[in-house]
Structure 1
């Protein structure tokens, strides 16, 4: 890995995020200075030039995301001002020397198409869905809520509908086999059963609602954790879409300060459900070490969100997961999910969905009957400081991570299915080649 460029003085304050477009020829950056900048790569010289620069929000910008080019040239930005904005690049007449519009010359600009204002806290992450699901985007904010929007008017990009809104921390656990059989019995009731079926369904709904309220109360009143209810500090941090179309709309979301990532399935027919919880806490620190859902010393729990899964206070040292990256599947029978946390660890999870035969044997709809499992296949603390970003290459074979140690590190799987360090680039190297680097600079790597 070599450094091919350094964008000096990219912003006047800390750069909070940088994102390549689909082709890797343009780079969007955002900063605490409330501005978004788009850079264009000159392939002949390898240098980056500023293409667009505008003030996008009234507060610091946390994330920027490109939509798939089949929908146009579209950006989404998330901000501390509790809003998400959708921007589109449009052509505009360039002013001539007299200040009027010139008919011969044309330029482009970024126009604000929509502003989403549903968040009750800082919007920390925004990401467009894979293109096969349509023009959708997901956000997560410090109010713990995962929100999914769908564009209703793609030509104008003006109308966006909030199609899902769920509190990740209080997300109900997956139904037990007994409860699932009850639900199936209710769903198979004949049209003549007009008296009993509605009553049973209402009872099930009331029980689910009560359990959800109890889970929320337990989350805010954990023993030994005074003042845990500070949602701005304990809220949502990061999200990442599953790139595989086969399993439907699935999102990995990190919330709270327990270091747990929830794998959430979103379906049009019912409320989102938690397929799996990735819990890095040692099994010995969990209340029930003999829980059969524990898959490895670094526990991965199936459909769990209660104290028994490690979501509650267990005394283990855990930190917020600040970045999640779901790798492209590229024909693998399993998924790879990478996380970076404030405890300095980069973790790689192998997430195994149920096989089609298991799913058919379970007799459940949309893969609900068989278990998803996960285990940690890589755990590295080389950064020795908070990890701010993890990202996969286009084939999901190489992982890069960036930490507060000023280094971008690479991780690759060897022939024996063992993940090992594959190199790094540091700010010191950039200083030797380009001079001093400050927090407003952007190092561009190859």
Structure 2
């Protein structure tokens, strides 16, 4: 039986003191590649090399009942991503088959049938097929930017899908990493003021939401992209170096109103780097996590590092290593980044 694990941080403080992992019997028939909770933590979506997506109800921290099973991809499904609930109950998936599906919960016997058959109350409403190789990563933009989905592919390109209220889709696709794009993560929607970043207001306000994301590639680099409002296209703003092999994942930390930005990157070179910038005009500095303290300061994990993920508050980083272990990291006061918890997945 293939399992996923649910791990809970302290609900009041979002501290790194994790509860005991709760196993979920997913009924997948092959390796699980991703597991994502929705905005409210009430649903868990998983995806697998068995080409299916499974959606579980979560009650009091545990998955309950039989899952909804969504089929349609013809190869391994690498990632799933929930849209903000203001857009409805919507889930995106990407696959080695080069396609991105958008699924919407419509209820049993409902749906217009424009995107495909209804499966357990879910309809595939959109299919994105412009990539020519595996689509490795997908991410929804901050909700105040509207329904926008970024996709990273092994064909070296990144695409951004913008969904209109009338059902139309605007697609912007461009080269990002010559040897393949492996991951994408949106920047928090903030604007900078003299006192530091503050939460941006809706686009109708005098404050404008920034459109920015970071990608990771097989060229050993991470690249930061911003949207040029005048030219109506995505442009590369910065390239950040530091890794010596493929960058497998990248995650831009949520912003909780404090100055500074943090990006975590995970690599085939067995390291995790924390890229930080205290102000928008400062250069990025890269600090490796040190998993072998107190014995030594070797920055290498036991195996390639596949995934990094920030807590909702942006103060705890989860690191998933190829040896099957997950570790939680937090920045100590004057002590750098410390591993505060770990467990076997």
Above 0.5 in TM-score?
yes
List alignment gaps of at least 5 residues for structure 1: 95-106, 170-218, 220-233, 282-317, 355-370, 428-446
Shift in Å, 1:16: 1.1
Q: Which structure ranks higher in relative contact order (CA pairs < 8 Å, sequence separation ≥ 6)?
A: 1
Q: Does 1:236 align with 2:244?
A: no
Q: Does 1:161 align with 2:161?
A: no
Which whole-Å CA distance do the structure 2 matches of 1:372 and 1:118 have between them?
37
1:66 equivalent among 82, 101, 104: 82
Secondary structure of 1:373 counterpart: coil
Which whole-Å CA distance do the structure 2 matches of 1:81 and 1:255 have between them?
19
Which protein has the larger Cα radius of gyration, Structure 1 or Structure 2? 1
User: CA offsets, 1:369-411, max 9 Å, x none?
Assistant: xx55200134334631111111000110000011111111000
Contact 1:37/1:50 (CA < 8 Å) preserved in 2? no
1:390 equivalent among 301, 304, 308: 308
Calculate the aligned-residue CA RMSD, in Å: 2.0
Secondary structure of 2:242 counterpart: strand
Contact 2:26/2:54 (CA < 8 Å) preserved in 1? no
Q: Does 1:17 align with 2:29?
A: no
Contact 2:98/2:129 (CA < 8 Å) preserved in 1? yes
List alignment gaps of at least 5 residues for structure 2: 1-17, 111-118, 192-208, 291-298
1:92 equivalent among 108, 130, 142: 108
Which whole-Å CA distance do the structure 1 matches of 2:22 and 2:289 have between them?
30
1:248 maps to what in 2? 210
Paired residues for 1:277-426 under 5 Å: 277-280=239-242, 318-354=244-280, 371=281, 373-380=283-290, 381=299, 383-416=301-334, 418-426=336-344
Give the structure with the higher percent helix: 1
Which whole-Å CA distance do the structure 2 matches of 1:130 and 1:375 have between them?
25
Secondary structure of 1:275 counterpart: strand
Aligned CA distance change for structure 1 residues 147 and 93 (closer, same or farther; 3 Å): closer
TM-score normalised by length of structure 1 = 0.63
User: CA offsets, 1:146-183, max 9 Å, x none?
Assistant: 111111236xxx43210x222113xxxxxxxxxxxxxx
Give the structure with the higher percent strand: 2
Shift in Å, 1:417: 5.6
Contact 1:146/1:166 (CA < 8 Å) preserved in 2? yes
1:262 equivalent among 214, 223, 227: 223
User: CA offsets, 1:75-128, max 9 Å, x none?
Assistant: 01111111111000111149xxxxxxxxxxxx9511010101111111111111
Q: Does 1:52 align with 2:68?
A: yes
Which whole-Å CA distance do the structure 1 matches of 2:79 and 2:285 have between them?
29
